[in-house]
């Protein structure tokens, strides 16, 4: 059995866990990103196109629209996803967006399906942003994230380029991806950083210090690969707790993230309507202190 989405379920009804003597219950369901506000469970659009989109995009468009119907109002994409096709697909599916925050990323190229390469030259970041504006059919990007810090380009130059795009009105807010606490602190000297997108999940907690910093500073933390893969994803303990809740292991992994911090904004991605509804339903899971204590055994990785 798994937690399902009913016709009444919408993200504006979910609750996040606050430590308490009995069951831990959700009482905050929204997160501020700058002056914008979104629900704390988003959608990662990368899988809608992969490296190259399918000739028939109708299924992918259907999934994107269904996410919004279910209450998702934060959608993550990047100029490198489908070499721009992902942004174009979202525009076709969701423009003019109507309250949906489209967050995109620049600064990470994908020459081949297995190859990624950072590119943080200021002129490239500007050009990539201009192309994203065109593909998304907007005059200003609500959230532009530096996909990767390019070690071959002075960090200050990359940050100055982003700050310039904000000053020109082409970008509303800036976020970073795969950064350390030190890099985040340095970036905030140049520009207001409202989000950080680092790899993080139940058992991959390498960026615990970054999450703690974001929590203290009120910066949205957007974990990519929020549902763990590998041996731990199918562990006996995870399956046992999920069964107790009438949920799947994936749903439990997402619920744990929502319990971990009030600035957490998971972006599970899928190209399946069934998995989409399963992921959204994870927001309704309530974890007790006992559940969290038992899951701690899986969390000591990283």
Q: What are 253-282's pLDDT values in tens digits?
A: 999 999 999 999 999 999 999 999 999 999
Question: Which residues form the catalytic set?
Answer: 81
3-state secondary structure of 172: strand
Q: State the DSSP code for 283.
A: G
Name, of 24-33, 208-217, 284-293, the range with top average pLDDT: 208-217
The pLDDT tens digits for 138-178 are: 999 999 999 999 999 999 999 999 999 999 999 999 999 99
State the total domains in the chain.
1
Domain that holds residue 210: 11-299
Q: Residue 52's pLDDT band (boundaries 50, 70, 90)? A: confident
Q: What's the confidence (pLDDT) of residue 128? A: 98
Q: What is the C-alpha separation between 174 and 165, in angstroms, rounded?
A: 9
| Residue 13 CB coordination number (10 Å) | 13
Q: Does a structural domain hold residue 286?
A: yes
Q: Does a structural domain hold residue 58?
A: yes
Q: Does a structural domain hold residue 178?
A: yes
Higher pLDDT pick, 1 / 93 = 93
- The percent of residues above 70 in pLDDT, for the chain, comes to 87
Alpha-carbon distance values, 161 to 79, 80, 108, 296 (Å): 17, 19, 15, 41
* Tokens standing for residue 25: 């219950």
Q: Does a structural domain hold residue 6?
A: no
CATH number for position 107: 3.20.20.100
Q: Going by C-beta distance under 8 Å and a sequence separation of 6 or more, which residues neighbour residue 146?
A: 105, 106, 107, 120, 125, 158, 162, 174, 175, 176, 177
Q: Residue 230's pLDDT band (boundaries 50, 70, 90)? A: low
Q: Does a structural domain hold residue 5?
A: no
Question: For residue 199, is pLDDT > 90?
Answer: yes
């Amino acid at each position: 059995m798994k937690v399902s989405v009913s016709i009444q379920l919408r993200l504006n009804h979910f609750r996040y866990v606050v430590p308490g003597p009995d069951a831990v219950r959700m009482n905050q369901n929204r997160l501020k990103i700058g002056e914008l506000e979104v629900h704390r469970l988003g959608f990662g659009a990368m899988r809608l196109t992969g490296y190259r989109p399918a000739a028939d995009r109708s299924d992918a468009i259907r999934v994107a629209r269904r996410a919004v119907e279910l209450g998702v109002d934060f959608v993550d994409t990047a100029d490198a996803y489908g070499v721009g096709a992902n942004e174009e697909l979202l525009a076709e599916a969701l423009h003019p967006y109507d309250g949906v925050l489209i967050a995109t990323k620049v600064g990470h190229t994908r020459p081949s399906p297995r190859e990624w390469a950072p590119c943080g030259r200021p002129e490239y970041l500007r050009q990539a942003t201009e192309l994203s504006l065109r593909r998304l059919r907007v005059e200003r990007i609500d959230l532009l994230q530096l996909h990767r810090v390019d070690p071959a380009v002075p960090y200050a130059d990359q940050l100055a380029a982003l700050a310039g795009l904000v000053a020109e009105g082409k970008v509303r807010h800036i976020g970073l991806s795969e950064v350390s606490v030190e890099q985040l602190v340095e970036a905030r000297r140049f520009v207001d950083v409202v989000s950080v997108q680092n790899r993080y999940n139940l058992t991959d907690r390498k960026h615990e210090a970054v999450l703690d910093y974001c929590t203290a500073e009120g910066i949205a933390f957007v974990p990519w690969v929020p549902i763990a893969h590998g041996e731990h994803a199918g562990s006996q303990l995870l399956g046992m707790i999920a069964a107790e809740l009438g949920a799947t292991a994936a749903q439990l992994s997402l619920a744990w993230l929502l319990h971990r911090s009030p600035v957490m904004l998971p972006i599970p991605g899928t190209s399946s309507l069934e998995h989409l509804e399963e992921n959204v339903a994870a927001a309704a899971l309530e974890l007790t202190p006992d559940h969290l204590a038992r899951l701690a055994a899986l969390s000591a990785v990283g």
